[in-house]
Amino acid sequence: MTEPQKSRFKPKALVPLALLLVGFGGNRGYKAWVAHEPLEIGGMVEVRTIQVASRSGGRVVDVRVREGERVAKGQELVTLERTELEAKRDEARAAMELAQAQLDRTTNGPRTVEVDAYGARVAGAQAQLDELARGARREDVEHARAQLAAAESQLKNAELAASRSAELMKTGAIAQAEVDNAASQVETARANRDAAKSALALLADGSRPEVVAAARARLAEARAQLENTRLGSRDEDVRVARAQLVQAQARLALAETNLAETSISAPRDCVVEALDLRPGDMLGPSQAAATLVEDDQLFVRAYVPETELGLVHVGDTVPFTVDTFGGHAFHATVQHVNDVGEYTPRNVQTVDERANQVYLVRLGVADGHELLRAGMAVTVRLARRHP
């Protein structure tokens, strides 16, 4: 008999199958492990900063804080020169007071003494017109006639004296000077006679029409001024005065605002990050004077892949770590998830790069403010949710 046929079964043939089964099971196990492990994404700690400046600018007088110093809300950081702005403030205040006085005068109307003064002018103009309209009085005419008669008598006497002087001159009894003097007296007496005659004619003829018309015009003007004074200011004058006051008040407010800008203060409790000014430096309008850090407002900026966007929701509290304190877990609250996707920035790479399309997520840091600093690299762990 032949030797029994040996079995063809070879154990080594099962090795590939076993390896295949182990690999398949390992892959399924790894996928299950990955499906339950948190998603790790990269980010960076950032901090809110404030750039404080003066809208008016000016020369630096005093720097009251140093870099790294903690300041309270309202604490003065930098003082600028005030002289020029104080002068503008005082000028604006004087203009406002003047506008207020003009408005008061316009709204209060004329005083009683002003009305009485214009009434007296009317009375005076009326009296002058009446006098011109009536003409000269009889007494004045008689007086003028008497003056004319006296002047004619003086002329006659002067002419007789001159005649006698001429006769005496022929006999040599008097000198030529006396004759000349007598002739001069005749001319003087004749001029006086002519003046008296003109005055009498003026009184007899009465006032000229143009003089009466001028007096009547002065009376009308005085009456108009009196009526205007009694009526007081017009409504449009009051509105103009009130508008000028409002304008002056606005200029004063602007001047006071500019003056207040000479003191640069902290808008809230924070830390001075950068302040590079010395007394004597010129600070331009709206030029940053200092950079302040709101160290209690730390937040994390991270990027979530599009394929994992369902793992993050506003209001979630998630843990994160930083390289400096790798064994310490910090916590942050999701504040915002961008509605528009973008490509991963070069300076931020996700730990698990499954997609290039990412969404920006902002997380507010809840603890560890005394340890964290802006610019630290962050690893955020997002828990995976399962039904």
Query: For residue 194, what pLDDT is reported?
Result: 85
pLDDT in tens, 13-67: 556 666 666 666 665 554 554 555 788 888 899 988 999 999 989 999 999 999 9
Query: For residue 244, what pLDDT is reported?
Result: 95
Cα 256 from Cα 87, distance rounded (Å): 11
In this structure, how many other beta carbons lie within 10 angstroms of the beta carbon of residue 272?
20
Nearest to 67 by CA among 277, 295, 370, 288: 277
Cα 19 from Cα 196, distance rounded (Å): 158
Query: For residue 225, what pLDDT is reported?
Result: 78
Cα 78 from Cα 302, distance rounded (Å): 36
Angle, CA 127 vertex, CA 125 and CA 131 arms, to 5°: 120
Query: For residue 267, what pLDDT is reported?
Result: 94
Low-confidence ranges of the chain (pLDDT < 50): 1-3, 6, 9, 30, 33, 350-354, 386-387
Query: For residue 192, what pLDDT is reported?
Result: 87
Buried b / exposed e along 9-37 (16+ C-beta atoms within 10 A) = eeeeeeeeeeeeeeeeeeeeeeeeeeeee
Query: For residue 340, what pLDDT is reported?
Result: 85
Nearest to 52 by CA among 237, 355, 361, 270: 270
Cα 253 from Cα 245, distance rounded (Å): 12
Return all residues near 311 (Cβ < 8 A) that are at least 6 apart. Answer: 39, 304, 382, 383, 384, 385
Query: For residue 117, what pLDDT is reported?
Result: 80
Residue with token string 């209001």: 315
Amino acid at 91: E
DSSP state of 52: E
pLDDT in tens, 132-187: 665 556 676 677 778 878 888 888 888 888 888 887 777 777 778 887 787 888 88
Cα 37 from Cα 385, distance rounded (Å): 10
Query: For residue 251, what pLDDT is reported?
Result: 96
Query: For residue 332, what pLDDT is reported?
Result: 93
User: Residue 68: left if φ>0, alpha if ψ -120 to 50, beta else—which one?
Assistant: left
Q: Beta partners for 271?
A: 70, 293
Query: For residue 387, what pLDDT is reported?
Result: 39
